[in-house]
Amino acid sequence: MSRLILASASSSRQSMLQNAGISFESVPVRIDEDAIRRSLVAEGASPRDIADALAEFKARKGAEKRPEDIVLGSDQILALKGKIFSKPADKDEAADHLRALSGQTHHLYSAAVIYEAAKPVWRTVGSARLSMHSLSDAEIDAYLDRAWPDVSGCVGAYQAEALGGQLFSRIDGDWFSVLGLPLLQLISYLRTRGMLTS
């Protein structure tokens, strides 16, 4: 029987799948996310479409490694007034990102694509709107002193499920998409495939 493969080393996505009782194997893949993102932005692609495209690139790459299995690729995009944010390169850039997000409402788009037999067979994009408190430079520095380097691999330089929750006044939309994977939609698909035990 085909096995579910997560084409990622993301500890957050692995934890979500494990906590939901989904059996899977993690097979990390390498793609040039920055180059793909820059190309799509230059073409005028929407943040939602960029998240979807990056998830598909990962799923396709994973399917090349494990063509006999069902491969899940996922990616998350943060957008503020049309600007796409990447993961911060260092602590200084993380502070810059938080200053830009301070007092603003931004969107997170978390895409998931499944490949089977070298073809995409399912896809979805979950979204959420996050409103951040107005933060002083001193608050940003104090936050990063506590949260760094745990947030170094996170778009927006926060983990809303952890200390970063203190930064927000309101979060609307799919919570699992905030965490990086539209889990409920994925579960619904896996149920139709008979891949869940309950």
Provide the annotated active-site residues: 75
Query: Which 3 state secondary structure label does DSSP give 40?
Result: helix
Tell me whether residue 12 is exposed, middle or buried, using C-beta atoms within 10 angstroms of its C-beta: 0 to 12, 13 to 18, 19 or more.
middle
According to DSSP, residue 105 is labeled E
Strand pairing category for 83-85 and 119-132: unpaired
- The single residue listed with the structure tokens 């993690």 is 26
Distance separating alpha carbons of residues 140 and 12, to the nearest angstrom: 23
**Phi and psi at residue 151, to the nearest 5°:** -95, 5
CA separation for the pair 80, 188 (Å, rounded):
30
Please name which of 177, 84, 86, 173 lies closest in space to residue 124, comparing C-alpha atoms.
177
